[in-house]
């Protein structure tokens, strides 16, 4: 199982105490966002968790406790943009705080396991293409040698953020203009020794040196674990998304970053109400189990394929053939 922590909220920033307690006790509860009285119990044993993918804008609260994850493989999707408090309301100062945090995390766990996200990109009279290019350049130069990869995306308008986008005066350039702009970002990324990819973009940016990204990345996880994974594309994500299947353990209406483009919160009031129910000792994030709830154990297992090798055998005609042979206790070779 691959654990996503989380597309729905910033667990490293706000709920690291809860998460690490759940790791210690090796289980947690997740409420179904489509059926709120249905709760899944998720096992968190290292035997079934192949990798944890963290999504965050500020992992600093976790940095002094990473040794508690020593039995697990994991990596971070770290969002770091050039927006001010008018867009990302609660994020600490980027140059003074967040870039040093990124660098420190990379030094601790290795640059391969810290992926820089410059997303979502939105355009206003303040946040112009020129502004983004300047901000991207400064961040890329600061992160050169601290990450191998940058991920970009352009803002999507949802019902939950449409009002904010209108208030900010967000506008979208023509596709050809977006492509040229993305190509400039690609040049800056490559100049600073990074590959660059897009996240769930319908527009094909391959001509500009930008591939479609897999944020829940099979190849990276196989590299980290040293094992092949028996896993499929995540059917619950958009068709443009390249992620493989994962189990998300977050909850909507719980992220306190206050980003104006956010799709995971209904309103500041709904976040405040959810956070009042936060208990780091509870198996459930920002909530309590009621009599109306039904708890069901979710079947989870490791996705690692059994070790195999190519074994040369003879057929009846004496020709060489190759076939995969499964390693067993009786046949370890």
Does the structure show a pLDDT above 80 at 231?
yes
Nearest CA among 124, 116, 187 for reference residue 153: 116
Mean pLDDT of the residues in the chain = 90
Residue 306's pLDDT is 58
Q: Distance between CA atoms of 186 and 152, rounded to whole angstroms?
A: 10
Q: What percent of the chain has a predicted confidence (pLDDT) above 70?
A: 92
CA–CA separation, 326 and 311 (whole Å) = 9
Residue with the larger pLDDT of the pair 61 and 306: 61
Pair of tokens at residue 21: 């307690």
Question: How far, in Å, CA of 308 to CA of 326, rounded?
Answer: 5
Residues 147-165 have pLDDT tens digits of: 999 999 999 887 788 888 9
**Host H or E run for residue 297:** strand 294-297
- Locate 154 and state its tokens: 């352009």
Torsions phi, psi for 38 (to 5 deg): -105, 120
Does the pLDDT value for residue 325 go beyond 50? no
Residues in contact with 301: Cβ distance below 8 Å, sequence separation at least 6, in sequence order = 1, 48
Distance separating alpha carbons of residues 112 and 106, to the nearest angstrom: 8
pLDDT tens digit sequence for 280-317: 999 999 999 999 999 999 999 999 985 443 333 333 33
Beta-bridge mates of residue 197: 151, 211
Write down the pTM of the prediction: 0.89
Please give the Cα distance from 22 to 25 (Å, whole number).
Answer: 5
């Amino acid at each position: 199982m691959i654990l996503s922590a989380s597309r729905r909220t910033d667990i490293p920033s706000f709920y690291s105490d809860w998460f690490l307690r759940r790791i210690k006790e090796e289980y947690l509860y997740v409420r179904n966002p489509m059926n709120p009285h249905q709760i899944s119990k998720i096992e968190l044993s290292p035997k079934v968790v192949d990798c944890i993918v963290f999504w965050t804008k500020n992992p600093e609260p976790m940095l002094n406790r990473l040794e508690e994850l020593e039995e697990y493989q994991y990596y971070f999707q770290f969002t770091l943009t050039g927006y001010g408090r008018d867009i990302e309301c609660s994020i600490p100062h980027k140059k003074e705080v967040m870039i040093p945090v990124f660098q420190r995390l990379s030094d601790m766990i290795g640059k391969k396991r810290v992926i820089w996200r410059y997303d979502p990109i939105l355009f206003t009279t303040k946040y112009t293409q020129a502004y983004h290019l300047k901000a991207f350049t400064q961040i890329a130069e600061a992160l050169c040698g601290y990450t191998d990869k940058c991920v970009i995306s352009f803002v999507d308008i949802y019902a939950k953020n449409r009002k904010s986008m209108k208030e900010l005066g967000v506008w979208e350039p023509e596709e050809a203009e977006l492509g040229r702009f993305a190509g400039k970002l690609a040049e800056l990324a490559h100049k600073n020794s990074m590959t660059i990819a897009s996240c769930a973009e319908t527009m094909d940016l391959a001509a500009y040196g930008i591939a479609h990204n897999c944020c829940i990345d099979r190849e990276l996880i196989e590299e980290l674990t040293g094992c092949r994974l028996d896993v499929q594309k995540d059917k619950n994500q958009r068709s443009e998304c390249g992620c493989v299947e994962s189990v998300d353990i977050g909850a909507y209406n719980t992220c306190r970053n206050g980003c104006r483009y956010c799709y995971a919160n209904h309103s500041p009031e709904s976040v405040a109400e959810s956070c009042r129910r936060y208990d780091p000792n509870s198996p459930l994030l920002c909530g309590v189990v009621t009599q109306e709830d039904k708890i069901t154990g979710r079947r989870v297992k490791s996705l690692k394929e059994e070790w195999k090798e190519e074994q040369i055998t003879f057929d009846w005609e004496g020709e060489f053939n190759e076939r995969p042979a499964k390693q067993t206790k009786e046949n370890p070779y």
